[in-house]
Amino acid sequence: MDLAYSENQPVIVAGIYDLRPLRPSDAGLMTLYTSDLRVAQTTSSIAHPLPPGATEAFIARSLAADRIEDAWAIDGTRAESGELVGVISLTRLDVDQSEIGYWVAPLFWNSGVASAAVGAGAGNCRLISTISWSRRRRPMWWIDHWRFSVRLGFRKTKRARVILRFRSVQPATP
């Protein structure tokens, strides 16, 4: 099965934030934020300590024509929050299914950035279902992630020790 996707990524408006494709100039802020242990602990894909060149490699993969993961910078310029406040990505698992991943810089935690970005990212993808999962190291974060996902319209379909899965709820059409 070929999951490569060569179409250009759109810029998605997410409230007062924009989701825009990553660019090489994002590497400095991304490295600064993802080097923070707190950010690494909230994801399963960011190593701590962050290896040299990891950010640049991620950006290069996200810009490749044959990518299977689309990544957007959460741009807070319109909110006067900064050019990059986090990253959201969709990794294709199947033709009509994708896994969503995101991180937000600790400076912007509890400010609505993640809700706006994940809601817009999952809502604008042309997929039948989106999977949201968490592999966080602190037990209370599991509960927070579950509540966050439900608030964004996901519903639980399976729970395992390290994976919480939610299937997106299609909005009712009038």
Alpha helices in the chain (DSSP H): 27-34, 37-41, 54-63, 113-124, 139-151
Residues making up the chain, counted from first to last: 174
Indicate whether 105 pLDDT > 50. yes
**Structure-model confidence comparison of residues 4 and 40, the more confident one:** 40
Domain definitions of the chain by residue range = 12-168
Among the residue ranges 23-27, 118-122, 143-147, the one predicted with the least confidence is: 143-147
Q: What integer pLDDT is reported at residue 170 of this predicted model? A: 42
Average per-residue pLDDT for the chain: 75
Residue 132 has pLDDT above 70, yes or no: no
pLDDT in the model for residue 69: 87
Model confidence, pTM: 0.75
pLDDT of residue 172 exceeding 80, the answer is no
Q: How is residue 104 written in tokens?
A: 């937000």
In percent, the amount of the chain with pLDDT more than 90 equals: 35
Asked if the 12-168 domain carries CATH number 3.40.630.30, the reply is yes
25-39 tens-digit pLDDT: 999 999 999 999 988
